Amino acid sequence: MEEWLLLRSGAGSSALNMAIDEALLLHVAELGYPVLRFYAWSEPAASFGYFQRHAEVAAATGLRPLVRRPTGGGIVPHGNDWTYSVVLPPNHFWHRLKAVESYRRVHEWVQGAFAETGVAAELASEARREVQGQCFAGAEQFDVLANDRKIAGAAQRRTRDGLLIQGSVQPPQGVKREPWESALCAWAAKQWKLRWRDWQVSRDIATAAERLARGKYASVGYNERR
């Protein structure tokens, strides 16, 4: 069985949340194991894609603070959503997948977890962009839909250090987060023969994340760089 690390970070600031994901990406090769991280937001915020223009994002949403993600994609509102990240080392087969294939794979996983909790969800067969730059205003191919509404999207970054996938779920009514997270782990254990190990970040990774939070993700210069 393949072993993955399970990290439950709890609620954090927008800057720290992005910093932990990047720190995990930078250190995942040393860890040697994939990481699934669940986390929340200590205040309402919006994250936006690495390549988006800050001025356009600021005009499109009233949510503050705004934080630029290390991944691509559009504007994602945070506060009531369920956020997670998947971080894989460069020797893992997910790292060799084309972007569309890893995107589909992670959303088949999310869809499977919703099925376990009694929610009938499906993957979008094609893109349906309605509002430019806003992640949940339309849908990309292979996003997760329920009742014809997008409920889960993700963005990726693939480097020589590894693969980072950042996902957000806008949950349908009647579904609780804890059972869904348990279902996500159970589905992967069953379908992919994974074994989960509860894990906390090392001091080195925590220090790197704190440095990135202060010097990058909380920085006006970084968030408004374009």
Positions marked catalytic: 135
106 CB contacts (<8 Å, ≥6 apart)?
A: 86, 154, 165, 167
For 42, 68, 100, 118, 141, the CA distances from 104, given in Å and listed in that order, are 29, 24, 6, 21, 8
Cβ(163)–Cβ(156) under 8 Å?
yes
Question: d(Cα 168, Cα 153) in Å, to the nearest integer?
Answer: 6
